[in-house]
Amino acid sequence: MEIRQVRHFVAVTTHGSFTAAARAEVIVQSALSASIRKLERELGAELFERTGRRPVLTPAGAAFLPAARALLAEEASAREAVSAVTGLTSGRVAIGTIQTLTSVDLPAELAAFHRVWPGIQISVIDATTAGLLDALLAREIDLAYLALDDSALPGGLTGFASWQEELVLMTSPEHRLAGAGRTLLSDLVAEPFVDFRAGTGLETSVHRLAAGCGLHRRITCEVTQIRLLADLVRAGIGVAIVPRQVAEWAGLPSVRIRQPDPPRTVVLAGRSPAPANPAAGALLAHLTSGSGPARTRSPLQRLTASRTNGDRS
């Protein structure tokens, strides 16, 4: 049994699909599937049921998951011990993020960090807030950007910084409210909505906001990618409630929502006030120093620009 096989198994449970896990592990899906098949042969049992649309843990897989997470935690502890005596000339840090992070330009921040500490390997995990919380508590990642809304961090976790993000109504350029500037949630009763899959951080924020105002939204389409959500709104299939900068980066009208003012809270969190992993401590110091790079284009903005230049992959 190899650590990478265990990491691939846990990645599938964290991300909910072989495709998303392969993307997070930066390998092709066929290689990840082969790695898990080899692990199953070595353990003598199938770990996932693969008959449905999404892989589901078998009883053997559910029994193996706690041990797998413990193995990865031990590996992380071993790496931290070595990093502590190598002066950060090497090491590894894992950071999680919600897909709709707009408060921080994470790619630019990580690039600046890499220029200072080129020997540190950085892993970036894109998952839901619930998945990131589980990964933090299981020591699979060191830090994470979470969308918490009104809920508090679970015990054992520490918040290092927080931001308030305004939620706005994003519409197509031709929509009747595109130039309105402001609107009430009660004015949106008849509107079709494009929304994120249930359980994601943004969907939870929007659901809480709508429920608090008695708005029962008619969901036309559910998606898992922010770029696709923006493209569907642009095509006129529905409107969406998103952080203001998402609408700005997509080049779509943003309408301020009145009564109430709807912020959401994004928190940078970790397991303790001082990370045991020296590489994580260095990254945390960089992210909270206030001296990071100036904001550059977001991933969505870069994708939008690439589409304009002919890249439609």
Average pLDDT per run of 10 along the chain, which is 313 residues long?
A: 91 90 88 93 92 87 92 83 71 90 91 91 89 90 86 83 89 93 87 82 78 83 89 95 90 84 81 88 89 41 38 30
d(CA 300, CA 191): 25
**CB-based contact 76:279 (threshold 8 Å):** no
CATH architecture entry for 164-264: 3-Layer(aba) Sandwich (3.40)
Residues 6+ apart with CB under 8 A from 55: 12, 16, 17, 18, 48, 49
Q: Are 70 and 138 in contact (CB under 8 A)?
A: no
**Dist. CA 281–CA 158, nearest whole Å:** 13
CB atoms within 10 A of CB 45: 14
Cis peptide before 260 (omega within 30 of 0): yes
Q: Angle at CA 102, nearest 5°, toward 99 and 104? A: 105
pLDDT of residue 280: 92
Q: Residue 193: which of 154, 147, 241, 258 has the closest Cα?
A: 241
The domain locations on the chain are 1-74, 164-264
CATH node for 1-74 = 1.10.10.10
User: 68 and 82 in contact (C-beta within 8 Å)?
Assistant: no
